[in-house]
Amino acid sequence: MPSAAHVDPASRLDVARDLLALLGDTTTEPRADDQLEALTLAVAADLPVLLWGEPGIGKTAAITQLAETLDLPLTTVIASVHEPSDFSGLPIVGADPATQGVPMAPPDWAVRLVRQGRGLLFLDELSTAPPAVQAALLRLVLERRVGALRLPPEVRIVAAANPRASAADGWELSPPLANRFVHLPWVHDPEVVVRGLGGTWPRATLPRLDPGRLPQAVDHARSAVCGLLAARPALVHQLPKNEARRGGAWPSPRSWDMALRLIAFAGAAGSSRDVLSLLVRGTVGDGPGLELLAALDRMELPDPEQLLADPAGAELPTRGDLRQAALDGVVAAVRSRPAKDRWDAAWQLLVRAMETGAPDLVVMPASSLAALRREDWTVPAAIDRFAEVVGLSRRADRAAARVTAGVRR
């Protein structure tokens, strides 16, 4: 039997290979993840996505896993190590350039994508690409053209970048290139990292779009975007003055069109507001995005007159801020057209809100509604149910005032 000193080095490598295989033997599980859902929605909507995150945060791993889950061949192109001609095409002189011209030959990775007919093109280290390369990427990202070659419709584009402060010899993205992407911040969830290192990572899946909701989702998206821009025309196009902000999400007709598409996809998929917020702010920026989200919230509010017409069967929003706004709208409707039957119906709605949600949400509407009472209106028996809630709220306010006064001293 040979001694340990004389073991074949190849055998040692075989053992090392077995160990590496065991370490790479991981699985996936379905898991709610807002940033992963936002990424898959943007991919389903066929929009270029740019993930922003610190080095080592897991951007590349997420995109690799996304390609595997969606069964898309992954093609990785590191933008910073390529020349502009690698994206715009290499000029090839033919037999008679005077009559046939000089065609622009595409690089090999583009040819492979066309042969495959589908795939995920991953543009890595985008923030380290010099301006000349960024300029060459414009046509690829928007028109899917590389030289004289057009990429198939089934090819999706995802990019990744580090913030300039943490990028190796980084550059700010040029405004034309930045405005072609959906910008998503990529952060780590410690619980996901721990579970993943234990062998189980979250699974990326394409959203399930409800065929019955497609027309409604499109109408809803168009109404929200067009309604906001009609009221706030200055938001149609706002090129940021700050150079760093120009390299992110900002409003333009192109990015509003992207936002409209993503709202429709999120509506058809039944995505949460947090996912929608990531997508909207990632296309038109934080300020305009928050205005658009507020406009969407207003569209979700029920008509106060319909609530007053059927208080027993009324469906109030489940989200606290929307429920508060709906109740305030009911009180405002009674104030604008006061009548005993409408006042009583409003109290029924407040009782229903107190029974089905947080009681503190009815304190302000109840106080405002009580102030609308006319002398000849009898007080409904239901009003006694609010006395304890209002009393607790006032005591809490007085306690908070005392604490604040003590801190100031």
pLDDT digits (tens, 9 = 90+) for 148-165: 789 999 999 999 998 866
Residue 44, domain extent = 30-90+104-202
CATH number of 85's domain: 3.40.50.300
> Does residue 392 share a domain with residue 325?
yes
Q: What is the mean pLDDT of residues 9-22?
A: 84
Two tokens, residue 120: 């995920």
- Model confidence at 252, pLDDT cuts 50, 70, 90, reads very high
Total residues found in the chain within this entry: 409
**3-state secondary structure string, the chain?**
CCCHHHCCHHHHHHHHHHHHHHHCCCEEECCCCHHHHHHHHHHHCCCCEEEECCCCCCHHHHHHHHHHHCCCCEEEEEHHHCCCHHHHCEECCCCCHHHHCCCEECCHHHHHHHHHCCEEEEEECHHHCCHHHHHHHHHHHHHCEECCEECCCCEEEEEEECCHHHCCCCCCCCHHHHCCCEEEECCCCHHHHHHHHCCEEECCCCCCCCHHHHHHHHHHHHHHHHHHHHHCHHHCCCCCCCHHHHCCCCCCHHHHHHHHHHHHHHHHHCCCHHHHHHHHHHHHCHHHHHHHHHHHHHHHCCCHHHHHHCCCCCCCCCCHHHHHHHHHHHHHHHHHCCCHHHHHHHHHHHHHHHHHCCHHHHHHHHHHHHCCCCCCCCCCHHHHHHHHHHHHHHHHHHHHHHHHHHHHC
pLDDT of 26 = 83
Nearest to 42, CA basis, from 27, 63, 60: 63
pLDDT tens string 312-322: 888 888 888 78
pLDDT tens string 28-77: 888 888 999 999 999 999 999 999 988 888 888 889 888 988 889 999 99
> Does residue 397 share a domain with residue 352?
yes
> Does residue 286 share a domain with residue 327?
no
Domain boundary residue, one of 202, 230, 258: 202
> Does residue 184 share a domain with residue 36?
yes
pLDDT of 397 = 44
Residue 2 lies in a domain: no
Domain boundary residue, one of 152, 167, 202: 202
Residue 99 lies in a domain: no
> Does residue 136 share a domain with residue 219?
no
> Does residue 354 share a domain with residue 277?
no
Strand pairing report for 74-78 and 90-91:
unpaired
Contact assessment for residue 146 and residue 155, using Cβ atoms and an 8 Å cutoff: no
pLDDT of 320 = 82
> Does residue 360 share a domain with residue 270?
no
**Residue 195 to residue 174: CA distance in whole angstroms:** 38
pLDDT of 98 = 59
pLDDT of 217 = 94
Q: What is the mean pLDDT of residues 247-252?
A: 95
Residue 23 lies in a domain: no
Position with higher pLDDT, 237 vs 188: 237
> Does residue 382 share a domain with residue 319?
yes
Q: Torsions phi, psi of 186, nearest 5?
A: -115, 115
pLDDT tens string 218-247: 999 999 999 999 999 999 999 998 888 899
pLDDT of 149 = 86
Residue 380 lies in a domain: yes
CB atoms within 10 A of CB 258: 25
pLDDT of 94 = 63
Residue 285 lies in a domain: yes
Q: Is a pLDDT exceeding 50 seen at residue 128?
A: yes
Domain boundary residue, one of 266, 300, 334: 300
pLDDT of 2 = 53
- Model confidence at 188, pLDDT cuts 50, 70, 90, reads confident
Contact assessment for residue 218 and residue 262, using Cβ atoms and an 8 Å cutoff: no
Share of the chain above pLDDT 90, in %: 36
Q: What is the mean pLDDT of residues 344-365?
A: 84
> Does residue 172 share a domain with residue 79?
yes
pLDDT of 13 = 82
pLDDT of 285 = 95
The overall average pLDDT reported for the chain is 85
Number of domains observed in the structure of the chain? 3
**Residue 161 to residue 139: CA distance in whole angstroms:** 19
- Model confidence at 299, pLDDT cuts 50, 70, 90, reads confident
**Residue 85 to residue 90: CA distance in whole angstroms:** 5
CB atoms within 10 A of CB 160: 23
> Does residue 312 share a domain with residue 294?
no
Residue 5 lies in a domain: no
Residue 230 lies in a domain: yes
**Residue 373 to residue 392: CA distance in whole angstroms:** 23
pLDDT of 277 = 95
Q: What is the mean pLDDT of residues 186-212?
A: 86
Q: Is a pLDDT exceeding 50 seen at residue 341?
A: yes
Contact assessment for residue 374 and residue 337, using Cβ atoms and an 8 Å cutoff: no
pLDDT of 186 = 92
pLDDT of 366 = 84
Contact assessment for residue 281 and residue 259, using Cβ atoms and an 8 Å cutoff: no
- Model confidence at 93, pLDDT cuts 50, 70, 90, reads low
> Does residue 340 share a domain with residue 264?
no
Position with higher pLDDT, 346 vs 98: 346
- Model confidence at 168, pLDDT cuts 50, 70, 90, reads low
pLDDT of 195 = 87
> Does residue 338 share a domain with residue 247?
no
Q: Is 163 exposed, middle or buried (0-12, 13-18, 19+ CB in 10 A)?
A: middle
Q: What is the mean pLDDT of residues 291-308?
A: 88
